[in-house]
Chains A and B, each alone.
Chain A
Amino acid sequence: MFLLKKQNLRNFIDALSQNEAKLKVIVPIQKDDGTIYYDEYEKNKDKEIIIEGRTDFSPKKYFLPEIEEIANFEKSENEVIIKEVLNNEKRIIFGIRPCDLNALLFLDEVLIKYMYPDKNYEARRKNTILIAIDCLEACNKSCFCSYLGTNIAKGYDICLTKIKEGFLVREGSNIGKNLLEKDGIRKILEKTDKEPKQISFECKNKINVEKIEELLEKNFESKVWQEEAERCLNCTSCTQVCPSCYCFYVKDELGFDDKKSRRLKCLDSCFLDRFSRISRDFVFRKSNKAKLRQFVCHNFYYSLVRNKMIKCVGCGRCIDVCPVKINIVEIIKKIRGYDGK
């Protein structure tokens, strides 16, 4: 265990960004409009690094960018050359919160471990070092991570815990251990016997996920879906801010001369008609009710059955961005209330 003094936080990040492997350091900062998001430290040295509270956006874009080239094709007279495109940029994400870390663990399960791996996600994941910051209390009124166990940091390379004097720094992997031993970094840290306190806070937004897959299966036709979905605008804000939403579509982009083209993997949203549209314009999930149910059931039911994990990490972002105040926790509560009646 190391101690990083409060006044040395910047030096620590500077040292990370000056290491020999030429890793890009990504940090949470605040935009001029007030949004807290992740960006390159190098470009934002004048900005404060936000180490407390939830970030408005998770660092998902570094693993699942909105649009990513996955292959390109070059046609000639009698041949086509297919090239694989993988992102090999090395990064350190500093300040990732426990909820977003847990979202990555879920994505690992679905996109890497389940069946064949998604090579593009896997490459980005392997090339990223994660430096987490523990949450010591519920960071806002919407989050409900403590009821899902996603308030505990897991799967990090290094983790920081805030204490009075600064931060306790611990390693979570060999990569993290090696990084902490690097000259420029080691000298900023002091050895300490202190241990971080056990994390045991409870969020205000209470959710009961006991046997939730059974509850949702049983109440698939519940009137709650219609009641809640009626006002949905299909704006897709919820799926955009969700740290664990990963659905994608693939499209080709043709060059000007018909010879070169790129294949793009783009994030999609289950709130759109195009999500379930097949030939002859037939849309399977047409109604708002069916779309909202898909979103909620994927989070709390399908993921649990298929991947043995709840997809939702309880960050509460979807609740806060919804322009018509659709609230995933309220939906579950309402369904439980109606259950068996």
Chain B
Amino acid sequence: MENKMLPTKARVIEIIDETNNIKTFRLELIDDEAKKKFFFFPGKFVMVSIFGYGEIPLGISSSHHEKRFFEVSVAKVGNTSSAMHNLKIGDIVGIRGPFGRAFPYMRMKGKDILIVAGGTGIAPLRCLVNALLDERESFGKIWLIYGTKNKNSFCYTREINKWKESGKINIVLTTDEKCEDELICHGLVTDYLDKTDLDYKKTTVALCGPEKMIENCAKKLISLGVNQDDIFVSLERLMFCGFGKCMHCNISTKYACIEGPVFTLNEVLEMKAEA
């Protein structure tokens, strides 16, 4: 069997500055065999190597319908991500994966969908939004509630405008800090969860963001009547292997790299508080 710890090569074919701290990298796998085998659904992640600087887990942020390339977005927060921010078009990175469990994309068909993102948590959800919009007629109502610290920390702004213009999705943008922009609301994402026209009992929810946000959203969503099995949460954990060896993403009997990073809220509640 092949060595799953060995990366395959991908070339950076485009770099997009999302905010002053976040960049999106468009990557194309170099090896044709690897490209053929590269298959994923929204929510899965890859291990990205910046040779000499380390390897980090990143959620794929482009739609799985795009076969020529895929994208990852990364905030400059640590050594590896900082090195990644120094990459130029044409540079080579290493890719392992995709790993993990995705959002139940196929089971979402025919359902109303609420997507809630906080900060960089938008990345795997952008993948989901684009995939949903690719097959818009297969889904019911779609709502996106996306909150960040301030106006300048929104990612994918051009794309979000396009989504808005298409009229295929309802979008609420909100910031913690007050801002002048009349299209942007003020407050936390939790303040807007009940401001949609969704039938909460029949809605599937996809959540990704800081731990605290997930906790508060979960409480609010349950009080709104969303079924706990219909709330899907993408968790962030430290990872070094991606296939259940290194133990860093272990949460009680589960591994975020195998059973996650997307868990149902029920599963998250079963994984006892760890602090």
Chain A contacts to B: CB under 8 angstroms: 70-71, 73, 75, 78-80, 82, 84, 110-111, 114-120, 220-221, 246-255, 258, 260-261, 263, 265, 268, 270, 275-280, 282, 284-287, 290, 294, 297-298, 301-302, 305-306
Contact = CB atoms under 8 A, between A and B. Distances in A.
B226 interface: no
B139 interface: no
A251 B80 CA distance: 10
Interface residues of B, number: 41
Given A75-B52, A82-B6, A276 B253 contact: no
26 contacts: A71-B6, A75-B51, A75-B52, A111-B245, A115-B243, A115-B244, A117-B1, A119-B3, A119-B5, A120-B5, A247-B248, A248-B240, A249-B240, A252-B49, A252-B50, A252-B53, A260-B52, A275-B238, A278-B237, A279-B75, A284-B275, A285-B274, A290-B275, A297-B252, A298-B247, A305-B253
Dominant secondary structure at the A interface: mixed
A75 B4 CA distance: 21
Given A73-B52, A115-B258, A119-B3, A278 B236 contact: yes
Nearest to B120: A279
A301 B245 contact: no
Contact of A261 (B51, B244, B246): B51
Given A278-B236, A302-B250, A250 B272 contact: no
Interface of B: 1-7, 9, 49-55, 75, 77-78, 81, 90, 92, 94, 211, 236-238, 240-241, 243-248, 250, 252-253, 258, 272, 274-275
B5 A298 contact: no
A254 B52 contact: yes
Most B-side CB within 10 Å, residue of A247, A265, A275, A278: A278
B77 to A, nearest CB: 4
Contacts of A249: 240, 246, 248
A80 B275 contact: no
B51 A73 contact: yes
A284 B236 CA distance: 10
A211 B6 CA distance: 39
Contacts of B49: 252, 263
Nearest to A262: B52
Contacts of B3: 84, 119
B44 to A, nearest CB: 15
Contacts, number: 124
B237 A284 contact: yes
> Which 4 pairs of residues, A with B, have the shortest CB-CB distance?
A261-B52, A247-B247, A254-B52, A73-B51
A118 B53 contact: no
A31 B255 CA distance: 40
Nearest to B247: A247
Nearest to A301: B253
A265 B248 CA distance: 13
Contacts of A298: 247, 250
A276 B51 contact: no
B247 A118 contact: no
A285 B252 CA distance: 12
A309 to B, nearest CB: 14
A250 B52 contact: no
A248 B246 contact: yes
Nearest to B246: A248
Contacts of B252: 220, 297, 302
A251 B52 CA distance: 9
B89 to A, nearest CB: 12
Contacts of B236: 278-279
A221 B272 CA distance: 9
B51 A252 contact: yes
A93 B119 CA distance: 53
B132 to A, nearest CB: 27
A279 B275 contact: no
A294 B258 CA distance: 19
A248 B245 CA distance: 8
A277 B250 contact: no
